[in-house]
């Protein structure tokens, strides 16, 4: 029998529930489906036997506690483990996961009965790393939701395992399951005091060994362009084509600095949505950079480009709304490298090579670390996230669970001499 017998069925059960977040919503959580799933998870955690299981009414975080079994006088720091329950903006309705046992590491995996899509090692070479393992994939019509229901399943299974094995010594462990990470608002409402941990980890990174403590600085920009639509027969000198202004604006940004042309620590401006008519157009950008000074320069350059278009028009036709989303958590975690080293040591003790690099994205830990709770990010196992080609290895999920338990064990060992 597998060590974590409930991990796979629990994960399959979770991903079948639609919990896609909605960036246009102003509610917390952004969708009722997230609320329903959090309530369902609360019941599950209560049934497992956790304490203080509750949903914070202000931020909709599901909180729970695994009480210390080392006595009230224990000086063991309290660990927090966090994951998010919402999924991204690819189709998340009717997720129908496939389980591929003993994958050979080189064959194409058809996604769904008609085989319209497939996981091909020629296109996705990481598949070669999973020879002999069990893969969970999509059916080609939806995402899978391993981001981050793999992390949720791993944390809940860890809790179940510890409750079933009281001989495993541990301090107090806090669990936090959140909504709306994918739309960048969930962690904005996190309550560090209510969570009451000394340090924490998000379980939301990708393949085996990923350990993240350096992320992008991030901002979102919305640009509204007011045109003037007149009949093309009399357009000269009268028409102002909002679509053309959008094109002109985009071409004034550095041509290389686009997501699809950058890597490593190179930042970018990513135009991810453009809607418009001659009369009105809207542009939405993501602005990213690891370096804080360059990040600020990027925002200022966008402001200057907007001003330049307005000067050309002779009127304020272009309006920019700019909002910072999160910052590079390395700025905080450099002062708390003991937390990173704890996770690194746990992986190395298990024979897992830590994979540490500057993340071209962010996590809830980016925001939470700046709130005063050091929160690096641990691998949960997902590959090709946010797409029909998403998959995860069961063995990697089990390894992630091993790491969570080992972090706890080392936390105890380091403070009981």
Query: Which residues are annotated as catalytic?
Result: 86, 181
CA–CA distance, 119 with 130 (Å, rounded to integer): 13
> In sequence order, what are the residues at sequence separation of 6 or more whose Cβ sits closer than 8 angstroms to the Cβ of residue 57?
none
The SS3 call for residue 64 is strand
Task: Give the ranges where 325-363 is alpha helix by DSSP (H).
Answer: 330-333, 337-349
- In the block, tokens 């974590």 appear at 4
Taken as a whole, the chain contains a residue count of: 417
Contact 348, 354 (CB under 8 A): yes
DSSP per residue over 118-162, as a string?
EE-TTT-GGGGGGTTS-EEE--SSS---HHHHHHHHHHHHHHHHH
DSSP collapsed to 3 states, 168-233: CCCCCEEEEEECCCCCCCHHHHCCHHHHCCCEEEEEEECCCCEEECCCCEEEEEEEEEECECCCHH
Half-sphere exposure of 74 (CA within 13 A, CB side): 19
CA–CA distance, 113 with 197 (Å, rounded to integer): 47
Q: Exposed, middle or buried, 3 (CB in 10 Å: 0-12/13-18/19+)?
A: exposed
Cis, bond preceding 148 (omega within 30 deg of 0) = yes
**Beta-carbon count within 10 A of 239 CB:** 16
**Beta-carbon count within 10 A of 394 CB:** 22
The SS3 call for residue 51 is strand
The values of phi and psi at residue 268, to 5°, are -165, 165
């Amino acid at each position: 029998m597998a060590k974590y017998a409930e991990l796979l069925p629990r994960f399959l059960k979770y991903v079948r529930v639609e919990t896609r977040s909605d960036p246009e919503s102003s509610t917390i959580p952004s969708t009722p489906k997230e609320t329903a799933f959090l309530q369902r998870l609360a019941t599950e955690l209560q049934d497992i036997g956790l304490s203080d299981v509750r949903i914070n009414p202000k931020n909709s975080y599901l909180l729970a506690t695994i009480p210390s079994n080392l006595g009230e006088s224990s000086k063991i720091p309290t660990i927090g483990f966090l994951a998010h329950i919402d999924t991204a903006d690819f189709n998340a309705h009717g997720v129908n996961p496939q389980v591929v046992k003993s994958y050979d590491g080189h064959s194409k995996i058809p996604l769904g009965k008609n085989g319209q899509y497939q996981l091909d090692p020629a296109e996705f070479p990481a598949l070669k790393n999973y020879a002999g393992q069990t893969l969970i994939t999509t059916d080609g019509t939806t995402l899978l939701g391993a981001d981050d229901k793999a992390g949720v399943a791993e944390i809940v299974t860890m809790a179940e395992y510890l409750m079933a094995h009281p001989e495993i010594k541990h301090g107090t462990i806090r669990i936090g399951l959140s909504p709306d990470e994918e739309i960048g608002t969930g962690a904005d409402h996190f309550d560090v005091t209510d969570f009451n941990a000394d340090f924490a980890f998000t379980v939301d990174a990708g393949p085996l060994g990923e350990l993240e403590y350096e992320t992008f600085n991030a901002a979102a920009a919305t640009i509204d362009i007011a045109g003037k639509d007149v009949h093309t027969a009399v357009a000269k000198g009268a028409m102002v084509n909002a679509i053309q202004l959008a094109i002109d604006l985009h071409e004034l940004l550095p041509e290389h600095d686009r997501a699809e042309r950058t890597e490593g620590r190179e930042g970018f401006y990513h135009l991810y949505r453009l809607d418009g008519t001659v009369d009105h157009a809207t542009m939405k950008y993501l602005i990213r950079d690891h370096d804080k000074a360059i990040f600020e320069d990027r925002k200022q350059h966008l402001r200057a480009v907007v001003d330049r278009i307005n000067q050309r028009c002779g009127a304020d036709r272009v309006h920019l709304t700019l909002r910072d989303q999160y910052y590079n958590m390395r700025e905080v975690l450099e002062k708390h490298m003991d937390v990173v080293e704890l996770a690194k040591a746990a992986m190395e003790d298990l024979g897992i090579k830590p994979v540490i690099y500057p993340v071209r994205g962010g996590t809830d830990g980016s925001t939470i670390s700046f709130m005063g709770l050091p929160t690096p990010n641990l691998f949960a196992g997902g590959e090709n996230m946010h797409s029909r080609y998403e998959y995860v290895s069961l063995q990697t999920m089990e390894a992630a669970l091993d790491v969570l338990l080992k972090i706890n064990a080392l936390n105890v060992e380091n403070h009981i001499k």
